[in-house]
Structures are given as C-alpha cells and as structure tokens.
C-alpha cells in the first residue's frame, strides 16, 4: 500500500485533543448532566472510537469537528450520548431494595387501599430493573389479591430502550431471579440449546418504556408515583445536578411515596422532602 493510500485510512488508536475533550465534556454535561473528568478521557476515547468506525470518520478529532460544526447532523448528539452512557444492570441488583418492597412497602400500599400501584424505574437501562419490579409486584398481587400495577421505565439511551422493550436476555442474565419467579415470569425457548430467554407477555405489557433526559426542566410522567427507583444514576452527576434531579423526582412522587437510590449514593446535606426509612430508601414527607 502506498504512503498516500495509507494516509487516507481512518486512524483508530488516536487521542482526542485537549481542546476537543474540553468541548465534548462540556457538551455532555450540558445535555445529560454527566460529568466526564480528565481521568475518564481514555474511557471516552474508547467509546467514541466505536462511533468513529460506525460513521467512517477519519479520527476522533475529525469526528469532534463534524459534531461541533454541524456536519454530522443533529441526530449525532443522540449517538454521542448513547455512546457515553453506562448501561450496567442486573435482575434483582441490590436485592435489599426488593426485600424491603416485599416486607414493608407493598403491605403498606395494600393496607392503604390503593387499587393501582404506579412505579417508575428512572434510568432503566436494558430493562432488568423494571422487569424485576414487575415480578415482585405481580408475585405480591397474586398472593394478596392486588393491587394492580403499572410501571414506567425511562432512559436517555434510545438503544437500550429498544432492548428493554423486546425483553429478551441471555440465559445467564436471569440467573439472579429466584427459581419460582423464573418458572412463572421467564419463557424458555423451544430449543433448549438456544442462548436467550424472554420475559412473559403479561409483564412486558405492564411496563411502558420512554426516553427521558434527567436534564429536562420537568418530567412529563403523568400522575405521581407510589415508588421511584433511581439507582446508580446519580453517581454520574455533580452534586448540584444530583440535588436538582432528586427534587424533580420528588415532585413526581406521592406524599408518603418511596424513592430508592443506589447503595453507593447519598443524599446527605441535600434539601429534599425525604426521610430515610431503609438502606438508601427514603419516604416523601
């Protein structure tokens, strides 16, 4: 291959210039509230290289130039945010929350005579969290004659929402689901050697998925919620953004409703209408 031909090939091991890193991190914070410190520069480069390959840009800085001068198109900002969001999720992740739901929250909601429970998985990723909620709610309703329930599940990343809507997962991913719930709520394929399983239609129909950006001034999610789970999302925001997001979430929570955050997250010294009632579990006062 000639030198001229080699020069035309995309470069996949380059780095983002300091100027473009500053512009990118500021844009990502502005659009999604996610903080990208200098220590995460290598991570950002790695994720964006996949996008560079996908669109055939010459290198990372060429991609940045196309993004900021508009040549990449308005839709590229959505691809950018999809690339930088973290989508770690598991069924029954941080199980203490679901144990508290079963032992305390659902009996309290039942005792209050609530006919239809509304819950929100805010930052739902590929759907493991809202489907876990649906399993817990459905199991309780089956054993106690109600209440009915509906779950809203939102995420910024349009790609993970498509995965969540399908409700199809590698068999290994549903292993944390208790065996009795797996039998009831997870469909096995006709081919026992097939690698994937699927959430049963009744649970899929109980969960509605929608795109939502935590940086929006308000959250158009309808009537107030009985339960909100916003777990392992706040860690990507700076402190003022965390408090602003939590206040907006609280406005969508019923008086006396419950909100759960990740076990590594804290609301200490924040001005919020919440009191702690369990492990990273709070009730609106």
Please give the positions annotated as active site. 47, 155
* 201 token code pair: 């239609």
Q: Are 142 and 118 in contact (CB under 8 A)?
A: no
* DSSP assignment letter at 34: B
* DSSP assignment letter at 132: H
Q: In what order do the strands lie in the sheet with 196-199?
A: 168-170, 196-199, 186-187
* 151 token code pair: 């779950």
Q: Is 204 helix (H, G, I), strand (E, B) or coil?
A: helix
Calpha distance 262→237 (Å, rounded): 13
Calpha distance 167→204 (Å, rounded): 7
Calpha distance 51→60 (Å, rounded): 9
Peptide bond before 55: cis, by omega within 30 degrees of 0?
Answer: no
Task: Give which of 223, 78, 93 is closest to 155, Cα–Cα.
Answer: 78
How many C-beta neighbours within 10 Å does residue 213 have? 13
Rounded to 5 degrees, φ, ψ at 260 are -125, 135
């Amino acid at each position: 291959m000639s030198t001229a031909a080699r020069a035309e090939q995309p470069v996949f091991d380059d780095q983002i210039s300091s100027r473009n890193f500053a512009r990118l991190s500021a844009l990502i914070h502005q659009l999604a509230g996610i903080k990208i410190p200098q220590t995460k520069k290598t991570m950002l480069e790695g994720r964006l290289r996949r996008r560079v390959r996908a669109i055939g840009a010459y290198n990372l800085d060429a991609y940045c130039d196309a993004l900021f001068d508009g040549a990449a198109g308005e839709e590229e900002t959505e691809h950018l945010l999809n690339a930088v969001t973290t989508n770690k999720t598991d069924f029954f992740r941080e199980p203490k929350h679901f144990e508290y739901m079963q032992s305390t929250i659902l009996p309290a909601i039942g005792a209050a005579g609530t006919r239809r429970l509304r819950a929100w998985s805010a930052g739902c990723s590929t759907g493991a969290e809202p489907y876990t909620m649906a399993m817990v709610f459905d199991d309780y309703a089956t054993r106690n004659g109600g209440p009915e329930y509906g779950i809203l599940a939102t995420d910024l990343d349009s790609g993970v929402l498509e995965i969540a809507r399908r409700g199809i997962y590698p068999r290994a991913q549903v292993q944390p689901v208790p065996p009795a719930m797996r039998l009831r709520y997870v469909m096995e394929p006709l081919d026992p050697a097939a690698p994937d399983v699927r959430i049963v239609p009744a649970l899929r129909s109980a969960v509605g998925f929608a795109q939502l950006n935590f940086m929006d001034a308000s959250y158009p999610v309808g009537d107030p919620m009985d339960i909100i789970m916003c777990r392992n999302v706040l860690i990507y925001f700076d402190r003022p953004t965390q408090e602003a997001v939590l206040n907006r979430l609280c406005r969508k929570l019923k008086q006396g409703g419950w909100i759960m955050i990740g076990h590594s997250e804290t609301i200490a010294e924040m001005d919020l209408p919440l009191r702690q009632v369990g492990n990273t579990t709070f009730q609106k006062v």
